[in-house]
Amino acid sequence: MAIQTMDVAVRTHVGLVRSRNQDWLHADGDLGVLVLADGMGGHRGGEVASHIAVQAVIDALLPAQREDKADDMESLMRVGEAAEFANRALLEKSTRHPELKGMGTTVVLAIFREGRIFYAHVGDSRLYRVRYGRMRRLTRDHSLIQQVIDDGVFLNRHEAREGGVRDNILTRSLGMELQTEVDVGDAVLEAGDTYLFCSDGLHNLIPDNIIAQILRDPQGNLEEQAQALTDAALEAGGKDNISIILARPRTD
């Protein structure tokens, strides 16, 4: 399968409340490799964790992409294995540096190959697809608030928040356990699709319908759309770091 090249736009902002940006991201449209991580941990642990995770994913995926030989199943396995490799890298780092013990990170990543996307995620950083003006979330948060909704304790996020459930309590992350469960998936690309990778600094503040409205034009300028999303999160309070990758299949 040949590499699917992508047009990309990237934004990351510390927000209006936090003193550090603990998000890290990488977007290589020429090789079709995109990854975003949202770190957590005291002192500088969060930014260290997200940086390590992103670098580990890149190290795992770029050589395979350059080989340009993987079939669908191999590609799906590779994205899952890349997240697992990042988890091991974090555990090894915290073992060597006790001051970083307890650091962790979310991750959402994807490779694009010959008309398909192969993706993996752990935590509550998200991947969305906008097609024909309709937005669909491809990932499901590994968070307590999502779990209580899935279990039927609350009907929606608003009710869960009113019931005292916080948005930022994760049920899965990288760097916390020797083994971590990684969710993977794949989908067919279509011309005009727009893919949004984002940290919770965006999706916890901006409703999906507003995100979809900003991204509804399949011919829209990705840089302008990425900036519009960032501005919307800042206008909504900017309570967390805001990180965004937008990607669209190249047509030339």
Q: What is the pLDDT of residues 81-123, one digit of tens each?
A: 999 999 999 999 999 998 888 899 999 999 999 899 999 999 9
Which of 20-29, 151-160, 217-226, 240-249 shows the lowest per-residue confidence on average (mean pLDDT)?
151-160
- pLDDT at residue number 130: 98
How many other CB atoms sit within 10 Å of the CB of residue 108?
28
- pLDDT at residue number 42: 64
What global pTM score does this model have? 0.94
Measured CA to CA, the distance from residue 73 to residue 62 in angstroms comes to 17
Q: What residue ranges define each of the domains in the chain, with the CATH number in brackets?
A: 6-138+175-249 (3.60.40.10)
Torsion sign across C-alpha atoms 212, 38, 51, 183: negative
- pLDDT at residue number 1: 62
pLDDT tens digits along 209-241: 999 999 999 999 999 999 999 999 999 999 999
Which of 13-17, 29-33, 148-152, 206-210 shows the lowest per-residue confidence on average (mean pLDDT)?
148-152
